[in-house]
């Protein structure tokens, strides 16, 4: 069963390709490596022992994407990851995010309509909730004003999907961390890391002198921001569950994908230290524009309907994140 996966060489995409292959699907990757790396393509092959089709194409290039849909017949669905993902960068350069993140979805949907592909799993985000009024936040929470242009693009994309006749599932991720235990695939983003765990890893490796914690005066357990951290392999498996559900039910739905537990920035740092027996040098800085104070998931819906729940611990994820960091430079 052929499944097109846009952004399939990226962080979450590459892990999802592994899970798709192990579940008997035939993924077709579309990824121009603008924010990923050939190492993940090679790593997927080493992990699975399988070859697959990869198109080096831009999802905003309508002509190229149409050629792929035309060539690849009998496509059962699409998993759409291709998007820029840095909250911090989106605040600095919002036009880049509006053009790419929304534009790529519109191109993909246009091709799906034209070539009669009726199912899409969309890579959404908990940023659609803005600063939630109630925690844990569930899928019934209304969209508030997004805290960043990145979050706004995810809100707009979800609205586009709701208005489309195509069957869709939007998976609202919380905070993916870690890597495949093999250390063969991981976050190969070409931009400067802006997320907590990759920065922690760079400090541990000596690539940075210190980690600057963005604010310690929030109304949280220790004054630092609270997030719901989920192992990327668990997150990848949720896409297979969503795809199965979509193919069987032919409808629209949205799901939170998180552990249901919040962890502060300082707690996450200490968890990494304990998991890897490494001391992290950090200091307290100013708040960062676009950050939500505290958010973690109500994940009862995804457990009940998709029969999915996180299996790995945060300690597992911190260990695997560090394993990737110390191995990635050796890979080709």
Q: Say if 166 falls within a structural domain.
A: yes
Asked if the structure places residue 192 within a domain, the reply is no
pLDDT at 319: 98
Domain tally, the chain: 1
Between CA 262 and CA 233, with CA 303 as vertex, the angle to 5 degrees is 65
pLDDT at residue 192, as a whole number? 76
Q: Is residue 205 part of a domain?
A: no
Residue 65's pLDDT is 98
Q: What is the pLDDT of residues 267-311, one digit of tens each?
A: 999 999 999 999 999 999 999 888 899 999 999 999 999 999 999
Exposed (0-12), middle (13-18) or buried (19+): which is 64, by Cβ within 10 Å? Answer: middle
Q: Find the helix or strand (DSSP H, E) in which 264 lies.
A: strand 263-264
Does some domain include residue 234?
A: yes
Q: How far apart are CA 254 and CA 319, in angstroms?
A: 30
Q: Is residue 92 part of a domain?
A: yes
Q: DSSP 3-state assignment of 76?
A: strand
> Is there a domain that residue 75 lies in?
yes
Region at 256 (left for phi over 0; alpha for psi -120 to 50; beta for the rest): beta
The confidence score (pLDDT) of residue 194 equals 78
Catalytic residues: 150
88 part of a folded domain: yes
Q: What is the CATH number of the domain that holds 23?
A: 3.40.50.720
Interatomic CA distance for residues 158 and 15, integer angstroms: 23
Rounded CA gap, 220 and 43, in Å?
39
48 with 18: CB under 8 angstroms?
yes
The contacts of residue 104 (CB under 8 Å, 6+ apart) are: 6, 59, 60, 80, 82, 83
pLDDT along the chain (332 residues), means of 10: 97 98 98 95 98 98 98 96 92 95 98 97 96 94 91 97 97 97 93 87 96 97 98 98 95 97 98 98 94 95 97 98 95 83
Work out whether the CA dihedral 309, 313, 316, 317 comes out positive or negative. positive
pLDDT at 262: 97
Q: What is the pLDDT of residue 193?
A: 78
- Is 271 domain-assigned? no
| 326, containing H or E segment | helix 314-327
Domain extent for 151: 2-177+230-258
How many Cβ atoms from other residues are within 10 Å of residue 78's Cβ? Answer: 25
Q: What are the DSSP calls for 181-198, one per residue?
A: TTSSS----SSPP-SHHH
């Amino acid at each position: 069963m052929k499944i097109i996966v846009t952004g399939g060489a990226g962080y979450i995409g590459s892990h999802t390709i592994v899970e798709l292959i192990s579940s008997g699907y035939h993924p077709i990757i579309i990824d121009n490596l603008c924010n990923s790396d050939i190492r993940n393509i090679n790593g997927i092959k080493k992990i699975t022992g399988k070859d697959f089709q990869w198109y080096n194409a831009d999802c905003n290039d309508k002509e190229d994407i149409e050629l792929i849909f035309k060539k690849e017949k009998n496509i059962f669905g699409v998993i759409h990851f291709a998007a820029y993902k840095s909250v911090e960068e989106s605040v600095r350069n919002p036009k880049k995010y509006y053009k790419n993140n929304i534009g790529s979805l519109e191109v993909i949907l246009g091709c799906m309509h034209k070539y009669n592909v009726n199912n899409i799993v969309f890579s959404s985000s908990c940023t659609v909730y803005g600063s939630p009024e109630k925690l844990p936040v569930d899928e019934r929470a209304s969209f508030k004003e997004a805290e960043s242009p990145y979050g706004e693009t995810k809100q707009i994309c979800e609205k586009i999907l709701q208005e489309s006749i195509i069957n869709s599932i939007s998976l609202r991720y919380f905070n993916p961390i870690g890597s495949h235990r093999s250390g063969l695939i991981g976050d190969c983003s070409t931009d400067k890391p802006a997320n907590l765990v990759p920065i922690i890893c760079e400090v541990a490796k000596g690539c940075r002198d210190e980690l600057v914690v963005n604010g310690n005066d929030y109304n949280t357990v220790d004054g630092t921001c609270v997030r719901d951290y989920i192992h990327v392999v668990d997150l990848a498996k949720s896409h297979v569950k969503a795809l199965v559900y979509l193919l069987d039910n032919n409808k629209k739905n949205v799901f939170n994908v998180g552990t249901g537990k919040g962890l502060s920035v300082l707690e996450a740092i200490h968890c990494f230290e304990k998991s890897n027996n490494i001391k992290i040098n950090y200091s307290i800085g100013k708040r960062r524009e676009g950050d939500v104070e505290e958010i973690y998931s109500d994940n009862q819906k995804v457990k009940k309907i998709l029969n999915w729940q996180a299996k790995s611990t945060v300690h597992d994820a911190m260990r695997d994140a560090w394993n990737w960091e110390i191995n990635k430079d050796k890979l080709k």
